[in-house]
Chain A
């Protein structure tokens, strides 16, 4: 799946501006994470039709990038995420970042994962039937 990332300067109201643009495009945000540093932040969102949204944001002078990520179901119980990560670690996968959300319809816990080595991840997904 492609995640939409937006570069955000640390200026007052900039995050709200970008979120207002998404509202204007009638885009629903399924999952969201915000990485922040002293001078700037990176907004990462999972949305429907990310390519189309990215193009629209670009037209409005946003710096955007589509990044391949995996959205995986996790057991919503103690140790659910840990046991999944243990499998990935055993396969030599390095996680760059991850964030979790809960799907409304079926209350299913899910995580968005960005990894360094895409091929290793594909193998692991198949091996453990994770998707």
Chain B
């Protein structure tokens, strides 16, 4: 268990590290913090302004890195609120630390070097694939780096290689489960025992469905690239919540930024310990949860968070990809001649998230030839795909047909709620 002094020492190390970035020097100077030594109490620490995605955007791409580029060996990124991604960097030690954190979490789940771990998260700028990959290797397990997609092959390899642990988004896990019959594979031919699923919100109903279809125990993993990637917290088999790794200091704040007591739901704010390339200082996750401190029978001592219950902003997670309504707006407006009135409808068709964007046509963009209208639709669709990386269905609608409330259009209709 971490003492108050150990906690403060850890926070001071992080403050010292972020102060290498001029942006943080200025930001912290404004609240009277010039050296790590100025953090004498937890209240001093709580004076530090929160960090947001916007801070990353303003310092795009590498402005918040706390180590020279020579020491950075890996870059990851996630989508920002506008066209620019938010970029993070890792030193060699950071990558090793991340691998140890993921491996420790896996160990608590009883995953060992004897397991065969199929990683069906996307590999790339997204942290999911490589984050889990390095953790699984650190554990000494056999790692199958499948990345996402290619479902029939995923299932064939799962059976033929004797995969015991599956890691992917919960919606893809469900899709894999539903595709078994089509691939001519029965659940009994598989050796799956544990599924580690994350990167998007899911429900208990979905968990039960995945467990039934694939014959495994499904657990939730949490993380975000701005604080590291997957592994910030991970459920154990006792099912009391997601244990937060000891390299993260969690705070749960109310909308005014005041700390909330244990068990109360608010925004999760994270600070990293001993992460050097891109240390996070009071980073606003925008995710809603509650936390509690204690010791679990699985061996974990420290903070445990509950499953994410929502978001404080309007970010959507569609097929594991972060999407902001402002990105859709940017895409629509870049086409030209279109009113900025749109409605994003997110739904789940079978196991897959689908996005439809209703766009109000204006007199200037209306051509009376169907061919021209179809071209307009396809231009908007293309722009949305370029900016968000997701395919969307675009539907042209009449002006003022999208409901307005208090003069402002409603941007999002999420019909996935209540569905598995």
Contact = CB atoms under 8 A, between A and B. Distances in A.
A131 interface: no
A58 B396 contact: no
Contacts of A63: 361-363, 366, 398-399
Nearest to B371: A96
Interface in B319-376: 361-363, 366-371, 373-374
Interface residues of A, number: 22
B24 to A, nearest CB: 50
Given A7-B398, A9-B401, A40-B396, A64 B363 contact: yes
Interface residues of B, number: 18
Contacts, number: 51
A118 B368 CA distance: 16
Contact of A7 (B361, B371, B374, B400): B361
B370 A42 contact: yes
A39 B363 contact: no
B42 interface: no
Nearest to B394: A39
Interface string B364-408: 001111110110000000000000000000011111110000000
B354 to A, nearest CB: 15
Contacts of A58: 363
A9 B399 CA distance: 10
Interface string A106-120: 000000001000000
Interface in A17-43: 35, 37, 39-40, 42
A61 B399 contact: yes
A42 B363 contact: no
Contacts of A44: 368
A49 interface: no
A122 interface: no
Contacts of A99: none
Given A42-B368, A96-B369, A97-B369, A65 B398 contact: no
Interface in A40-54: 40, 42, 44
B397 A9 contact: yes
Residue of B369, B373, B401 with most chain A CB atoms under a 10 A cut-off: B369
B359 to A, nearest CB: 11
Interface string B94-138: 000000000000000000000000000000000000000000000
Contacts of A5: 366, 368
A67 interface: yes
A3 B369 CA distance: 12
A37 B378 CA distance: 14
A8 B373 CA distance: 12
B367 A65 contact: yes
A63 B337 CA distance: 13
A17 to B, nearest CB: 10
A62 B400 CA distance: 10
Nearest to A64: B363
B399 A42 contact: no
Contacts of B371: 96
Given A40-B373, A42-B373, A61 B400 contact: yes
Interface string B23-55: 000000000000000000000000000000000
B317 to A, nearest CB: 26
Contacts of A42: 368-370, 373
Contact of B368 (A9, A62, A65): A65
Contacts of B367: 65
Contacts of B400: 61
28 contacts: A5-B366, A5-B368, A7-B361, A7-B366, A9-B397, A9-B398, A14-B398, A37-B370, A37-B373, A37-B374, A39-B395, A39-B396, A40-B373, A40-B395, A42-B370, A42-B373, A44-B368, A58-B363, A61-B399, A61-B400, A62-B398, A63-B362, A63-B363, A63-B398, A64-B363, A65-B368, A96-B369, A96-B371
Interface of A: 3, 5, 7-9, 14, 35, 37, 39-40, 42, 44, 58, 61-65, 67, 96-97, 114
The 9 closest A-B pairs by CB, nearest first: A5-B368, A9-B398, A63-B366, A39-B395, A67-B368, A65-B366, A9-B397, A65-B368, A63-B361
Given A9-B397, A42-B370, 4 more contacts: A37-B370, A40-B396, A61-B398, A96-B371
Interface of B: 361-363, 366-371, 373-374, 395-401
